[in-house]
Structure formats: C-alpha cells, structure tokens
Amino acid sequence: MDNPLAANTLGTLGAICWSIQLLPQIIINHRRRHATGLQPAMMMLWAWAGVPLGVYNIVSSFNLALQAQPQILAFLSLVTWGQCLYYQQRRTAIETLSVAVPIGMVMAGVEVGLVFALRNRNGQDWAMTLMAALSALLLALGVLRHYVDIWKHRTVRGISFLFVGIDALGDVFSLVSVVFQKELDVLGMVIYGTELALWLGVFAAGGWYDLLPKVRQRWGSGREGKGGETRGEELGRGQAENNNTGRATGLATLHDGASSPSVFRTASRSIEG
C-alpha cells in the first residue's frame, strides 16, 4: 500500500512515542532514587537491539522518522541502564559514565559500519534478514527478562505502566507505518508486532497479579460490610426472641410459684387437721 503521507505521519508518531517512552521510567527512577525491579539486562538488550534495527531501517530506506527511531531507543535504553548501575549497584556517576559512554560509542561504530557494508550487499538479502531477526530477538529477550521477574515475584514491579503503554502505542504506529510503505515489509511487521504482543502480555500480567487482587479485596470488603449488617439484624432478632422467651418463662415460673405454696399449705393444713 503506497501512501507516503500516511507512512511518514504514522512513522513520526511512532518515533515520538519511542522518543518519550522511557522518559517516564527515567523520571520515576530519579524521583524515587532507586530502580528496584527494573531489569538492567532488559535495558542493555534493548540498547543493542537499536543497532541492527537502525541498520535495517536505514538500509531499507524507510522514512526519516523510522530511521531515527532506533537511535533514540538505543540512547534512552542506555541511559536507563546507567540508572540501574547508579541506583542498584551503587556506582558513582563517574563510574557509570565511564562504562556507558564507551558502550554507546561502540554501538554507533558498529551500526555505521554495517550500514555502509550492507548498502553494497549486491543482492545478499540474507544479511538484511539477519538484521531484522536479530533486532526482534534482542527486543523480545529484553521484555522476556522482565517476564522472568514477574513470574518469580508474582507482580509487575519496577516498571512504569505509562512507559509500557507509550511503547506499545509506538509499536502500533510503527507497525501501521510499515503497512503504508511502498512495498509491504513483512520483517518490519514482525519486529514491531513481536514487541507489541509482549507488551500486551505485561499488561495482562499486571491486571492478573496487581489489579485483580485489589478488585477482589474491595469487592470482598464491600460484601463483608453488607454481611455484617445482615448478621447484626439477625442477632438483633435473635436477642428479641430470647427476651420474649425469657419473659414467657418468667411468667410461667411465677404462675407455678404462686400455685405451689397453696398446695403445700393445703397439704399441711390437712396433716394438722
């Protein structure tokens, strides 16, 4: 489906989402002064996924938004990985930068070299297929690493659902943007579709482990409140019945007590007579 305007517009929206997707996570980490639950392996895998994804998008002559998108993803992922070093492993800022900056430079060099190499591939499409598969694999492994943490702790911890939502929305825009390219790129759809499916799984896990127990707790407390009122009414009725029974028993006892002395008096009088 050849629609350059739609492809560029959707690709730009996807790039915007991917530009700000990690910003909520970075801000949250900075405000709470820790990154507990956030997986550094996930962030590093994502940073490296930007390299083959950038090579694939640039060599495939995608729109400029999709070409810039992987670079932004790699940069923000590397920044978030640096926060994990700084907050979780208690590294100093200088130590963190001394590790993160060289890794970023290596990533940039590898991507530039692969772009120049694959532009003159002379029909060797297997290399492009490898770039697409490698980027999809690294992105998927990054999210799956968080699945392991979810399974261990039975909760979605350390990750911002706002970040997840923005990232999933960026995947949707990018996926539809690929559809509107001049030629339908199946590999590009696989890359964005795989990550979208995994993020939907994280949403589902959050609903199952975090949201559903809260709903059940509130629903149960509401039913207990109503049940307490019902039990109170039953106790009130039971107490009233007991009072009525006690009164009836007291009257019967008084009646029996009043008749018994007259019998004894009559008997004693008979004996005396």
- Mean pLDDT, consecutive 10-residue stretches, the chain (273 aa), reads 80 81 86 83 91 89 81 91 89 92 95 88 77 88 87 82 86 85 77 85 87 82 57 52 53 44 41 38
- pLDDT number for residue 259: 42
Of residues 125, 158, 147, the one with CA closest to residue 56 = 125
φ, ψ at 159 (rounded to 5°): -120, 140
Cα separation, 157 vs 153, in Å, equals 8
**DSSP tag of 218:** H
Cα separation, 234 vs 194, in Å, equals 58
Rounded (5°) CA angle 201-202-205: 85
- pLDDT number for residue 44: 93
Q: pTM above the 0.85 mark? A: no
- pLDDT number for residue 265: 43
Q: Write down the mean pLDDT value for the chain.
A: 78
How many C-beta atoms surround the C-beta of residue 99 within 10 A? 14
3-state helix, strand, coil in the chain (%, to 5): 85, 0, 15
Of residues 57, 73, 72, 46, the one with CA closest to residue 7 = 57
Tokens 């994804």 belong to: 53
Of residues 202, 194, 156, 162, the one with CA closest to residue 175 = 194
- pLDDT number for residue 206: 85
φ, ψ at 130 (rounded to 5°): -65, -40
Write out pLDDT tens, residues 211-256.
888 888 888 776 655 554 454 555 455 555 555 555 545 544 444 4
